[in-house]
Amino acid sequence: MGVEVIIPLGPGEAPPFELVEQLNPLTVTLSATMPRPDEMDESIRWISGKSGRGRQLNRAIERSDQDWIWVVHADSRLDRRAVTCIQAFCRRAHWSSMGYGTLQFGRDGPWAVHLNQWGANLRSRILGQPYGDQGLCIHRRLWTQLGGFCERLDRGEDLDFVVRARQVDAHPQRLPFTITTSARRYRTDGWLKTTLNHQFRAWRLIRNAKRWHP
């Protein structure tokens, strides 16, 4: 059993040093679109190339030598149980399982994001459709079977992956840790507008992903 954490960085996005510290002692790879900063610790792997989160994830996974891949977003923060939970999951889980945490939004958004938080966690439990914000942990064999993450999508490659994985009988499994993600987009773009936009995009993405055949 081996697990590697992959954190995709968007163009101009700063390395998440606090998050990397929380992930100790796991191997961490930052998949970025710019050259490695001079101040970056040599113990942290850095891969750079063309932008696009699906493309960046695939690029990093191709270079990984571990069986399990834990995808964590750069604006996420983990509780103290997270690393231990992931390690335990990877030791005992079947390759068709997908681990994820309970979503919590940070305090940088409006109060109403608590509704989004509740809905996301409910959807994950009932429909088996966690988002990437929940820290998806997958096996390389499942990634290979699905042909990797979709590189055509601007965003939502994580949900697309989960929906396609369900079509080959892969099983999402909620793990007992909490992952906190930024809610700043709801504050900047407006809660209602952002929520409706996310729901429409998710509906369209799920519909298209279900058309995929192994």
- pLDDT tens-digit readout, 3-33: 999 999 999 898 999 999 999 999 999 999 9
1 has pLDDT over 80:
no
- pLDDT tens-digit readout, 149-172: 999 998 899 999 999 999 999 999
What is the residue extent of each domain of the chain?
3-209
Q: Which residue has the tokens 């840790």?
A: 177
Residue 62 near residue 81, CB atoms below 8 Å:
no
Farthest CA pair distance, the chain:
45
Q: Give SS3 for 24.
A: coil
143 has pLDDT over 90:
yes
Q: Give SS3 for 81.
A: coil
**Of the candidates 158, 184, 90, 130, the residue with the CA atom closest to the CA atom of residue 82:** 90
How many C-alpha atoms does 211 have within 13 Å on its Cβ side? 5
The stretch 54-58 carries a mean pLDDT of: 97
Per the confidence metrics, is the pTM higher than 0.85? yes
pLDDT of residue 65: 93
- Region 3-209: CATH code: 3.90.550.10
67 has pLDDT over 80:
yes
